């Protein structure tokens, strides 16, 4: 098991993310969104990114054209103006997934499974160009896991072993995404002395590769 690195800044934590990377990004709107890590990535002007998230509110990345594709369940809203503009200009691609399907595609990747079957989306535009299978007279979509090189998550507290606790709604996508990428980077508001109480840990430090403490 690799020991969690505690880094001095968000910039140090994302310094090796290359152009063209696929990134899982936690958060549900503003709750649990790793804005410091995303901001540091934008400062490097990394391009060709595929961002997998609940929504498309990554304004800092869209301002300079850093995103090639967004995989999400909620591409509209007050924080999605930048994405909608680049989408309309044909400068980015959208892969839309129902929220439950999206999170299950991430979960199955973390669990090492080959995918799952669902009837959600059958008979709609969401089923176009997707592989289908019939079982007992019913059609199902074959949904494959989402592979990513990095996951960026936000937690409330961590200990020096990388164990994480999320605060309220910030738990959302962060916990499942932290299990589903080979390199997981977490920004936290506090790193405690000693170790967190095992009964309150939401994500084991075994999943966390890099940790950085931020001000918000």
Q: What pLDDT, in 10s, does the model give residues 27-54? A: 998 899 999 999 999 999 999 999 999 9
Domains and CATH numbers, the chain: 5-113+146-213 (3.40.1080.10)
Q: What is the pLDDT of residue 178?
A: 98
Say what the pTM is: 0.95
Q: CA–CA separation, 48 vs 109, rounded Å?
A: 22
The confidence score (pLDDT) of residue 2 equals 61
> How far does CA 109 lie from the centroid of its chain?
12
What's the mean pLDDT when you consider all of the chain?
A: 95
Confidence of residue 216 (pLDDT cuts 50, 70, 90): confident
- The tokens 């939401």 sit on which residue? 202
């Amino acid at each position: 098991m690799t020991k969690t690195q505690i880094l001095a800044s968000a910039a140090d934590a994302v310094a090796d993310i290359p152009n063209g990377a696929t990134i899982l990004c936690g958060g549900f709107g503003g709750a649990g969104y790793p804005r410091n890590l995303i901001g540091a990535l934008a400062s490097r002007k990394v391009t060709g990114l595929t961002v997998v998230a609940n929504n498309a509110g990554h304004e800092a990345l869209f301002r300079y054209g850093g995103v090639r594709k967004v995989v999400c369940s909620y591409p509209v809203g007050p924080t999605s103006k930048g994405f909608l503009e680049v989408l309309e200009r044909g400068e980015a691609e959208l892969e839309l997934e129902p929220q439950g399907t999206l999170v299950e595609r991430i979960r199955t990747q973390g669990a090492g499974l080959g995918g799952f079957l669902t009837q959600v989306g059958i008979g709609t535009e969401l089923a176009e160009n997707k592989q289908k299978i019939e079982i007992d007279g019913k059609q199902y979509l074959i949904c494959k896991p989402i592979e990513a090189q990095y996951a960026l998550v936000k937690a409330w507290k961590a200990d020096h072993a990388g164990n994480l606790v999320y605060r309220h709604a910030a738990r959302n996508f962060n916990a499942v995404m932290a299990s589903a990428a080979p390199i997981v980077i977490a920004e936290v508001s506090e790193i405690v002395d000693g170790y967190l109480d095992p009964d309150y840990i939401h994500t084991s430090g075994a999943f966390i590769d890099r940790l950085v403490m931020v001000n918000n």
